[in-house]
Structure 1
Amino acid sequence: MTPDARNWFDEGGQAYAQFRPTYPASLASELAQLAPSTDLAVDTGCGNGQFTTTLGAAFDQVIGLDPSEEQIANAAPHPRVAYQQAPAESLPASIRNDSVSLVSAAQAAHWFDLPRFYDEVTRVSVRGGVIALLCYGVLHLDDPAIDERAQRFYAEDLDAYWPPSRRLVEREYRDLSFPFEEIEFRAPSIQKRLTLDALLGYFSTWSAVRAAREAGQARLLEDVGRDLADLWGDPATERLTTWPIGGRVGRVGTAGA
């Protein structure tokens, strides 16, 4: 897979931190049970730490890595988490060989140069360590009319502006190469109650929305905002929003991998 050359999240770290959903604690707990120990986890492409801080509750030490200085500057603090600016394809020398029990990438692997990343995963992982490439799909809202307009915004209005790698997320990374012993893993969904402003704020963090704005099509977000406002009622009303989690989980350096 050839990654998209641009890091769409190099800017807007504050909005990303405010509006992107966080992951359920049970997801980190289940990965910790699969890992050979809970000594050290490394979360690559960590952004603002949406998943990194969740891992902090399940592992003794967590290192969150992201190539974007602004994302790291806006990362959520946690007593067990240390953040560093670094790409997934070149992990810091401070992460020793054969030292990591879990390497994760949450909503990030489709941006990576995978062969180089996998080499780094193999280098730093303990034998039998776990690699988890996680992604969440298109959100669904509990009101059918509102959900239909949100789906149309994603699939039709923004279709020309999604980078090719987005299709990998839609397929839950099933099309990615994955040279590890695969572990069957059923992830829980993300659920959160959103106001209208929070939903539109989340939309604003999409790479396709940013691409549309750069193409002079900022009206697409404005149009969906007006349509949703007509459907929403009181904009302060919180509506249950669900994101399905998918991805690939495997073991590193075991026989047959």
Structure 2
Amino acid sequence: MKDNFSGHAADYARFRPTYPRELIAQLAGMAPARQLAWDCATGNGQVAGMLTSLFDQVVATDISENQLKNAVQLPNISYRVEQAEQASLPDHAVDLVVVAQAVHWFDFDRFYQEVKRVLKSDGLFAVIGYGLLSTNSSLDKVIRYFYSEVLDGYWDPERNYLDEGYRTIPFPFQEIELPQFSSSYTWSPEDLIGYLNTWSAVKHYEKQQGHNPVQLVEKQIREAFEGETTTVTFNILTRVGIVHHS
């Protein structure tokens, strides 16, 4: 699994969108029990923190020690620096496995074997994420241009899975359809620029070209704001499945 995010963990914690509480509560409600949840590739512990009020114990793993240092600390979360494909969890012990905005980096076959190994019978596996944000139409144009044109060739190929709404990932589970969730925020130009700076393609561009590509569109971004703030919306992507043990 790639580690694109260690270098700017604090920015990541500050600018990345969060998931709706209703979504996390719905997943908890569908799990066979509420003893143990695994938040895989937890990053800054955002989802793990939301799970703590719903489960007795939360195990949160990530390959980035640096991300975990910035993570939310709560008594019933235990953080472990581990690969998604090799968890130190016991067999058939977990009620819910969640992967937020990360499954596209994994070795699917090996990770899905782990999911099936650790989940109880009728345990729940949830892949969640979000694609490109949407806002007013003139700002959307600037963001799309930046995403597709300026950063063309700088996105990891795995990004396509997100562009395709996670519909094209392999998913060998009995699937449950969830309603559409979204997260909306009131952002200033600084918030939006801060968020764009957390994109992995921006980091790749900077490394190769020696300058920050966000600066190329900063003026257009500021001009496209219709006032001091704007509403930005992230549609939440979900793939949810049940594991049965024969």
Pick the TM interval, shorter chain: over 0.9
> Given the alignment of the two structures, is residue 242 of structure 1 paired with residue 233 of structure 2, yes or no?
yes
After superposition, what is the alpha-carbon deviation per residue over 1:133-184, rounded to whole angstroms, capped at 9, x for unaligned? 111010011x221222112211222121111111101112221111111111
> Given the alignment of the two structures, is residue 252 of structure 1 paired with residue 238 of structure 2, yes or no?
no
Structure 2 unaligned segments of length 5 or more: list them.
none
Alignment partner, residue 217 of structure 2: 224
CA distance in structure 1 between the aligned counterparts of 2:204 and 2:127, rounded to whole angstroms:
25
> Structure 1 residues 254, 98: closer, same or farther in 2, change over 3 A?
closer
Q: Secondary structure at the match of 1:177?
A: coil
Give the percent of matched residue pairs that are identical in Structure 1 and Structure 2: 37
State whether residues 155 and 201 of structure 2, in contact with CA within 8 Å, keep that contact through their aligned partners in structure 1: yes
State whether residues 137 and 243 of structure 1, in contact with CA within 8 Å, keep that contact through their aligned partners in structure 2: yes
> Given the alignment of the two structures, is residue 36 of structure 1 paired with residue 32 of structure 2, yes or no?
yes
> Given the alignment of the two structures, is residue 23 of structure 1 paired with residue 19 of structure 2, yes or no?
yes
> Given the alignment of the two structures, is residue 186 of structure 1 paired with residue 179 of structure 2, yes or no?
yes
Alignment partner, residue 210 of structure 1: 203
Which of the numbers 161, 164, 168 marks the counterpart of 2:161? 168
Which of the numbers 145, 151, 161 marks the counterpart of 1:152? 145
Letter in 2 for 1:16: Y
State whether residues 131 and 235 of structure 2, in contact with CA within 8 Å, keep that contact through their aligned partners in structure 1: yes
> Given the alignment of the two structures, is residue 71 of structure 1 paired with residue 67 of structure 2, yes or no?
yes
* RMSD between superposed Cα atoms in Å: 1.6
Letter in 2 for 1:222: Q
> Given the alignment of the two structures, is residue 122 of structure 1 paired with residue 113 of structure 2, yes or no?
no
Q: Secondary structure at the match of 1:12?
A: helix
User: In the comparison of the two structures, how many residue pairs are matched?
Assistant: 246
State whether residues 202 and 212 of structure 2, in contact with CA within 8 Å, keep that contact through their aligned partners in structure 1: no
CA distance in structure 1 between the aligned counterparts of 2:79 and 2:137, rounded to whole angstroms:
40
Which of the numbers 35, 58, 64 marks the counterpart of 1:62? 58
Alignment partner, residue 136 of structure 1: 130
CA distance in structure 2 between the aligned counterparts of 1:187 and 1:55, rounded to whole angstroms:
20
Alignment partner, residue 45 of structure 2: 49
TM superposition shift of 1:238: 2.7
State whether residues 181 and 254 of structure 1, in contact with CA within 8 Å, keep that contact through their aligned partners in structure 2: no
After superposition, what is the alpha-carbon deviation per residue over 1:198-239, rounded to whole angstroms, capped at 9, x for unaligned? 1111111111101111111635210111211223366xx232
CA distance in structure 2 between the aligned counterparts of 1:147 and 1:18, rounded to whole angstroms:
22
TM superposition shift of 1:41: 0.6
Letter in 1 for 2:97: V
CA distance in structure 1 between the aligned counterparts of 2:232 and 2:54, rounded to whole angstroms:
25
> Given the alignment of the two structures, is residue 12 of structure 1 paired with residue 8 of structure 2, yes or no?
yes
CA distance in structure 2 between the aligned counterparts of 1:40 and 1:238, rounded to whole angstroms:
40
Letter in 2 for 1:61: Q
Letter in 1 for 2:166: Y
CA distance in structure 2 between the aligned counterparts of 1:136 and 1:232, rounded to whole angstroms:
22
State whether residues 24 and 54 of structure 1, in contact with CA within 8 Å, keep that contact through their aligned partners in structure 2: no
Letter in 2 for 1:80: N
CA distance in structure 2 between the aligned counterparts of 1:220 and 1:170, rounded to whole angstroms:
21
- After TM superposition, the score normalised by the length of structure 1 is 0.90
> Structure 1 residues 22, 70: closer, same or farther in 2, change over 3 A?
same
- Write out the 4+ residue segments of structure 1 that deviate beyond 4 Å after TM superposition: none
